[in-house]
Chains A and B, each alone.
Chain A
């Protein structure tokens, strides 16, 4: 079955550094992959979508890469700020619904 893996351990990053989160998947070749941000007590909020034929996508300080050979997406936040602290979820398109990772908690320390 389709499976998505994100690092379950929290990622601690010093403010100003680049944070890199990983999303690995198996048993599927998605047409696109999405990244969402979720704050405590809130629902996920869409950030970026990358298609299978795109290597990289950028939005302000965010960058997503998609390696269909490695079956992996990397999510980068450059010049990280404490306000970037949240849980980040990746999701890929399943047959008719999104398949979600469990998320990685990112903590940006001042």
Chain B
């Protein structure tokens, strides 16, 4: 399966600032997924990033708040804009791990833990 490098691993940010999270995959992949994991809650899909097209955002997430770039088949960034304490969370990027069965198994990066003061 793919190996994903994600950075920063953690950061403490001030309210109103923006932070960009980077995700590098060691192989070319069609789709990259960005998730949010808030304490004690389930993983929530923010958006799907496809190379060469705009990201597809899930309900409750908008491009102005979470702009995503996907310049090539191995790299993506997620920016958390105009941060507030409510954005304090772990952000994870992931890719599909192809299975002959067609099941949607995911490989994740280590995550970026953001704390907004």
CA A46 to CA B40, docked complex, whole Å? 19
Give B67-117 interface residues, CB cut-off 8 Å to A: 92, 94, 97, 99, 101, 103-111, 113
A32 to chain B minimum Cβ distance, whole angstroms, is 5
Given A8-B40, A41-B9, A100-B43: A93 in contact with B109 (beta carbons within 8 A)? no
CA A98 to CA B45, docked complex, whole Å? 9
The answer, among A4, A42, A98, A103, for a CB contact under 8 Å with B104, is: A98
**Residues of the B chain whose Cβ atoms lie less than 8 Å from the Cβ of A69:** none
1/0 per residue B30-66: CB within 8 Å of A? 0000000000111111000000000000100000000
CA A11 to CA B1, docked complex, whole Å? 30
Chain A contact surface mostly: strand
Q: Which A residues contact B (CB, under 8 angstroms)?
A: 4, 8, 32, 34, 41-46, 49, 51, 89, 91, 93, 97-98, 100-103
Q: Provide 15 A-B residue pairs closer than 8 Å at the C-beta atoms, listed in order of the A residue.
A: A4-B42, A8-B40, A43-B94, A43-B109, A43-B111, A46-B97, A46-B105, A49-B99, A51-B101, A89-B42, A93-B103, A97-B45, A98-B106, A101-B42, A102-B40
